[in-house]
Amino acid sequence: MTKLLLRALAGETLPTPPIWMMRQAGRYLPEYRATRAQAGDFLSLCYNPELAAEVTLQPIRRFGFDAAILFADILLVPQALGADLWFVQGEGPRLSTITSAADLSALKPADDVHETLSPIYETVRILAGELPPQTALIGFAGAPWTVATYMIAGRGTPDQGPAHAFKAADRSAFAALIDRITEATILYLSAQIEAGAEVVKLFDSWAGSLAGDDFDAFAVAPARRIIAALKTRHPGIPVIAFPREAGDRYVGFARATGADCVALDNSVDAEWAARNVQVDGCVQGNLAPHHMVTGGPDLKAEAQRITRALRGGPHVFNLGHGITPDADPDNVARMIEAVRSA
């Protein structure tokens, strides 16, 4: 029997949507924290195939999600291109910065990324052999704009100001950086698929800060190029795209990019999405992550409202963003029960 996630991504309307969660392997789980302590630090965990596979499997064992998503990080691609990458405890990632055409020229060619990223492919191979037969395996990468914002600023920023400034000051160099990331992302995701990923997802976490022609040039066009290349190399591979906080630009995004599913953040209403986005195919989302912290009757009511609103078409139930470290695992179980009983 075809896995539920693959059926939804193929456009099938199911009586109960498949369920998984962004960041489902993470700090809200005590077993994750124990495994990370064993690894020593976050990057060591990402690059240890046995331990990365273990943390990917932990939420599947605990909750029985319909899909597992590879445990890795979107900033491994910049590191593979030659950027320095480290994590500051309690603050997040830091990278060496790309602020000029000269910095860009010092990066490695896209073809060189496999040397650094080969442990990630081994993690995928382990998972492909160990996941339950009904559980789909999702690979992923950051979308080029979002990855570029970190490479330019050297860290996450509230408004992606450094990336917008670079784009305004030297658009050709900025476009060349987007091209380099796009090429590397195609190779990275293709290798994940060859290793056993059945679905891939593009996370454009900062897409919402792009407007007008810039959204078309740096959110839509790279996604379209990546998806077309993957589908040429791997016919039939489903792709989920997540242009977070795209607002009205969610409308038509699947048609513009070739994505099989558009993931929605929790700033858009599920009823609106049913009328305007789901008409083009599968949608994913979009429960607010704070419900995983607060729980209670609101959790059940909102999970069931979203499920019912999107019941008329293909739907993958998920959060509108990643689960937070302060979430209660018991609330995850309650969410799953609410969706499956809606």
Our answer to whether residue 150 is catalytic in this structure is yes
305-319 tens-digit pLDDT? 999 999 999 999 999
pLDDT, residue 89, reads 83
Decide if 102 is inside a domain: yes
Residue whose token pair is 């060349």:
176
User: Token pair for residue 100?
Assistant: 């000029």
Decide if 53 is inside a domain: no
Domain check: are 189 and 315 in the same one?
no
Decide if 114 is inside a domain: yes
Catalytic residue among 23, 180, 244, 334: 23
Last residue of a domain, one of 263, 298, 329: 263
Angle CA(13)–CA(15)–CA(20) in degrees, nearest 5? 85
Catalytic residue among 150, 188, 249, 334: 150
Our answer to whether residue 73 is catalytic in this structure is yes
Decide if 57 is inside a domain: no
User: Token pair for residue 197?
Assistant: 């990923």
pTM of the model: 0.98
Our answer to whether residue 27 is catalytic in this structure is yes
Decide if 317 is inside a domain: yes
Catalytic residue among 66, 73, 204, 280: 73
Domain check: are 231 and 315 in the same one?
no
Phi, psi of 266 (to 5 degrees): -85, 10
Catalytic residue among 33, 36, 125, 155: 36
Domain check: are 135 and 98 in the same one?
yes
| Average pLDDT estimate for 69-95 | 95
Contact predicate 152/98, CB 8 Å: yes
Residue 319 lies in domain = 1-18+282-342
Decide if 55 is inside a domain: no
- Give percent of the chain with pLDDT exceeding 70: 100
Domain total in the chain? 2
Domain check: are 198 and 80 in the same one?
yes
* CATH number of the CATH domain containing 238: 3.20.20.210
